[in-house]
Structure 1
Amino acid sequence: MVIWIILLAMTAAAVMVVLWPLSRHAAARGQADPDIQFYREQIAEIERDQERGALLPGEAEAAKAEAGRRLLRATGTQDEGFAALGEPALRRRRAVSALALSVVPILAIALYGAYGSPHIFDRPAMMASRPQAAAPDLDVAVTQIETHLAQNPQDGRGWEVLAPVYLRMGRVDDAVKAYGNALRILGENADRLSNYGEAMVLAGNGLISSEAQAAFEKAVALDKAAPKARFYLAKAAEQDGRTDKAKAAYEELLAVSPADAPWTPLVKEQLARLGAPQAAPAQGGEPQMGPEDILRMVSGLAERLESQGGSAEEWARLMRSYAVLGQRDKAEAAARRARQALAKDDAGLKTIETMARELKLTDAAQ
């Protein structure tokens, strides 16, 4: 609506530019004619000469009479000139005005339709009727789902949808809980168990705990072809130092997988890293952590907890990491150090004792 008001104002301004000169006759009429002004000044000059004695009274009267006659003639000529601007001129002005008022807007609309963009005013409505292509903000979407699940905690499908989103956001612990809720509500199947186990592996910084391994074993029991579960079980054997078993598991998975399966390059890379002669290094596979990387990661976690302290979950993760690596003495030492660091944290101590029982480190209990 605003744009049309602007266009109307511009059209009115264009019409006024055309009509303005037609109204100038009134101003011209108010101006004094040069001849009339000249004769009036001549009469005034004759009177001044008479007063100074430069002219005799008779000569002055004769001169004034002559100037008066010329003044009258000049005045009559001007009246006739303005009379010529009477009815015919008025009709001409009206015709030009009507032409300006009609032709200028019509010409402007025609030019705008030919070279302008009249369809642009319909664009907002068109865009409103069109679905938005941009994806909604991820944080806003997650907040909406979380609000829904807070009100409907038994919506297993909602937890299952939210869990991989948590993983993409780096909220790994939340993803583990979401997958756990989906399993509890919707029941166990190979995919849910595999995803749940993978989330626990990510939460453990790549180390496969006994709980994650149990989830993978259940997934394979339900579906022997579950590739993700079989891959992580082979990885678990590798982490336990059972290289031959890991190789056999990778080779079996590769044998039953399609040649174009997305996990095939990754399995080949694992076999190549373990020195399997029949496997070639995969091109473009996702890099995996080797034993050295895992040891370095666990060592860094231990140093940080010793120097800066940490949460009960981090201490429990360190205990589990040592146990998975077969370093039970270090796992027991980590349990003792965690009890000292969390002596005033009852909930934290409960977490440590639970992990110690799971890893069968009860001999380290105090």
Structure 2
Amino acid sequence: MVSAPLFAAFALMTALAVMAVLWPLSRRRTERAAREADLAVYRDQLAELDRDQAAGRLPPEQVEAARVEVARRMLAAADTAPEAVSSAGNRRRMAAVAALVVIPVIGAGLYLKLGSPDLPGLPLAQRLAAPPDGTDIAILVRRVEDHLAANPNDGRGYEILAPVYLKLGRADDAVRAYAQAIRLLGSSAELQAALGEAMVVRSEGMVTQDAVGAFTAAVALDPKMPKARFFLGLAAEQDGRRQDAAAIWGQMAQDAPPNAPWLGMVRAALARIGAPAAPSAAAPAPTAPGPSAQDVAAAASMTNDQRSAMIQGMVDRLQERLNADPRDLDGWLRLARAWRVMGNEDKVRAALSSARAAFPGDEAAAARINATAKELGVGG
């Protein structure tokens, strides 16, 4: 039920509203009072004319003309319609009744229909003191803030509060909270990466120099920290260093376990800058049959005819597969090495040339092809 103090507050506010309406009405002169005041003035004017005539200050004809004019005005004032006066008074009374009765009645009816008169009062102090139910985030945040105001060296409190600030869109508060947590708890890869992320949110997606510093500190503490590495790649992309971004994200894709939740985001970033999405080291892409380094080494112990037959069969199968699907850089490099074992330098050059044609504009692929060419002695 609504408490008595609350009803008293409602009554006081209603009374103030009514007085605001009635006060100007009560100060207006009535039409009757105005008419009586006018008649009193005219009577004084007639008496003044009589005194001027008796003293000889005005000629008789001017006194008579003035007396006629004053009399005319008195008649006009006396003939003011009482209905008009009564109508004006009725309007004022109706306004007073509306202010005193109708408005409070309508307000009470709306409250009973739309409000919650049976809901018990719950002041803020009681809400803060009540056990948390997990539904009022603002109350939970306020409790932690009050706790930190009383215990400013509680680094764990800042660590808990910072991500809540970030979810609530309070990026500035989140940055300050993470900075306090690092100051009190010491630097860690997780806290530094979270601080950098809050800075990126605060700058609306731009990786600022302060954020780069935080991500760099995180990577120094944990070289495999995915969040920090990703944002450092994003910083490189925003700076126009697409090759550096491709190197960072490509290495992340190679290091990623197959079920890494962030692997899709990394591959999308690589696709955005036109870099190939390297397969993860934990889940290497299947390769087609072809002469591996172990196969070539084993062939050295065979007779010339056996070795030639074995390698030729592997090379032919690999060549067929690469002709059907040329987007296999490892396959082309393996083919070039196989032709070198077989002593066919023209075929080595042809395999490397086909690899370059399959990966136009790919700087990472070109670097590997040139390194293989140098290794096999056929130039860059």
- Do the two structures share a fold, i.e. TM-score over 0.5? no
Give the TM bin, normalised by the shorter chain: 0.3 to 0.5
Q: TM-score, normalised by structure 1?
A: 0.39
Which structure would you say has the larger Rg?
1
Q: TM-score, normalised by structure 2?
A: 0.38
